[in-house]
Chains A and B, each alone.
Chain A
Amino acid sequence: MSDRSLDTAALCDWLRDLWMVDGDQALTVEIVAESTAGARRRNLVIDVHGGPRPGRFVATVLPTADIAILSMADEAIVRTVARDHGVPVPEVIGVCLDESVLSGQFFVSEFVDGETIPRRLLRLVHAEGIGERIVGQLGAGFARLHAIDPALAPQAMAAPIDPVGAALEAAHLVVANLLQPEPAFSYALRWLREHQPDEPSERRIVHADVRTGNVIVDRTGLRSILDWETAKVGDPMEDLAWVCTRMWRFGVDHLTVGGLGTVDTLRDAYVAGGGSWDEHRFRWWRVLVTMRWGTGLAGQAAMHLDGRFSSVVMAASGRRVAELAYDALTLIDAT
């Protein structure tokens, strides 16, 4: 960060307005850490001294509004709706659309202590023996999220009429525009077309990126689900499939759900929470999201090559495409 004092002064004024704190009352803000875990957003951990609600918070800043998937305002709404329905999400206490305060739009939410970094998180979970408990909590959380009336979602999250067909069409477009033909993806697409399930009877709010890496965990279990910028109205089974993608197991491959626990535990908790599990749809979405992430990695390689985002990490993504193509085909092989 270039100028922490400037950030702090402007943020302090914004909090005074938010909480209607008089000028003669003491209120100070201290930035205690900055995390760059998310590639696109800055997370500032801040301590607030004085005012009506002293304590530790997180300011999530989007440096450039045009790279938003869901706007900061809409993300704050969907986080609040999910939290109000019992999904573990840090409470949002305010949204700021004035980009001058922190060099970008931001929202401030409560700070939840715990581990987020995948390999450290998995070490903690397995040292404590709480993997299955966390998977159960994820299943229950999904059931609560998917039970919410989608009319409560922001307008920008409006459902495609056919989430299954739309996902297939989008995948088709991406595969057609790869830098070089990839027959494994064409094979997977063909299989997806031939096994396309009916559209879901109910479209629901889905997070679309719950995985190891987007959750906070401590010794007691799951504390929070983070990063709601991909939330949309769609097919609930997409959420349940994505959390099982092998890349999010970080080497703990025998535990299908994020290297944490088993699909049986996820399914049981989801159904016990009132969710409706559709095995055929689940398997279809597993192939689709696996293939889609493979094309996403191919897209990162393309962004390096055409100069949109030149980086050795993005370049290296091209050499990871085979992992996802292999996973997609072995998933098909197992059906």
Chain B
Amino acid sequence: MQYRPDASELLDAVASLLEGDVIAAVPPHLQHQVRVAANLCRVLQRESQLGDVNDAAERERLASILETGDHDDLSSLRAALTARLDDPAPIDLVLDRSIRATLLATLRADLAIAKPGYDTSTGEP
């Protein structure tokens, strides 16, 4: 196990440097890129905290909707659901609703990492 600071704390340090001294020191045409880089550090910081929990929850939701007992890796489960959706065979209304709810739950969890607050906006989509 690595000694402190942990990944999240290190990313916080890098983001603070980019948002502060670096952005003030770089020429204007680089400022947008530095701002984006700082934001990516914040995203990765949240990912280091929430990523594993989110992935486990997504695996569980997908295994349930696909009615598969074996908890395959997440990529295979996502591929299996994608293949089912790409197949033109009908999907009954109840399952369709469950799939949509499952996908929205996963996207909300992704947004908690990539853009917190995006899914709680008051506007229409």
Question: Which positions in A face B, CB cutoff 8 Å?
Answer: 36, 180-184, 186-187, 189-190, 193, 246, 249, 253-256, 290, 311-313, 315-316, 319-320, 322-323, 325-334
Over the window 4-36 of chain B, the binary record of Cβ atoms lying under 8 Å from chain A Cβ atoms (1 yes, 0 no) is 000000000000000000000000010011001
- Pairs across A and B, CB under 8 Å, 6 listed: A189-B86, A246-B125, A316-B36, A320-B114, A323-B111, A326-B104
Whole-angstrom distance between the alpha carbons of A325 and B104 in the complex? Answer: 9
Among B39, B107, B114, B124, the residue within 8 A (CB) of A334 is B124
- Asked if B57 lies at the interface with its beta carbon under 8 angstroms from chain A, I say no
Structural contact, B36 and A329, CB atoms closer than 8 A = no
Q: CB-CB < 8 A to A331: which residues of B?
A: 125
Shortest beta-carbon distance, A314 to chain B, in Å?
A: 10
Q: A327, B123: Cβ atoms under 8 Å?
A: no
Does more than half of chain B's interface fall in helix, strand or loop, or is it mixed? helix
Closest to B65 in A: A183
A319-B33 in contact given A183-B81, A256-B123 (Cβ < 8 Å): no
Q: In the complex, which residues 30-48 of chain B have their Cβ closer than 8 Å to any Cβ of chain A?
A: 32-33, 36-37, 39-40, 43
Within 8 A of A (CB), among B103-125: 103-104, 106-108, 110-111, 114-115, 118-119, 121-125
**Docked-complex contact A329 and B103, CB < 8 angstroms:** yes
Known A180-B78, A316-B40, A326-B111; judge A334-B85 contact (CB<8 A). no
Q: How far is the CA of A331 from the CA of B100 in the complex (A)?
A: 12
Which of A181, A312, A323, A333 has the largest count of B CB atoms less than 10 A from its CB? A181
The 8 A CB mask of B94-108 against A (1 = contact, 0 = none) is 000001100110111
Closest residue of chain A to B75 (Cβ to Cβ) is: A180
Residue on A nearest B115 in the bound complex, by CB: A323
User: 3 smallest A-B Cβ distances: which pairs?
Assistant: A253-B123, A181-B82, A186-B85
Q: In the complex, what residues of A have CB within 8 A of residue B81's CB?
A: 181, 183, 186
- What residues of chain B lie closer than 8 Å to A330, measured between beta carbons? 104, 125
Alpha-carbon distance between A315 and B39 when the two chains are bound, in angstroms: 12
Instruction: Decide yes or no: A255 and B107 within 8 Å by CB, A183-B78, A332-B100 being known contacts.
Output: no
Q: Is B1 an interface residue (CB 8 A)?
A: no
Instruction: Please pick, from A193, A313, A323, A334, the residue contacting B36 in the complex, using a CB distance under 8 A.
Output: A313
Alpha-carbon separation in the docked complex, A147 to B64 (Å)? 52
**Closest A residue to B111 using CB positions:** A322
Q: Which residues of A contact B124 (CB under 8 A)?
A: 256, 334
The distance in angstroms between the C-alpha atoms of A311 and B33, with both chains bound, is 8
What chain B residues lie within 8 Å of A329 (beta carbons)?
A: 100, 103-104, 107
What residues on A are CB-neighbors of B83 within 8 Å? 181
- Are A325 and B123 in touch, CB under 8 angstroms? no
Contact status of A249 and B36, CB under 8 A, knowing A326-B104, A330-B104: no
CB pair B107–A326 under 8 Å, yes or no, is yes
Residues of A within 8 Å of B100, CB to CB, are 187, 329, 332-333
A333 touches B104 (CB 8 A): yes
Known: A36-B29, A323-B111, A333-B100. 13 other contacts (CB 8 A): A181-B82, A182-B82, A187-B85, A190-B86, A253-B122, A253-B123, A255-B123, A256-B123, A312-B40, A313-B32, A313-B36, A316-B36, A323-B118
CB distance from A100 to the nearest CB of B (A): 26
Q: CB < 8 Å: which of B99, B114, B123, B125 contacts A322?
A: B114
Contacts of A322 in B (CB 8 A): 107, 110-111, 114-115
Q: Shortest distance in angstroms between A333's beta carbon and chain B's nearest beta carbon?
A: 7
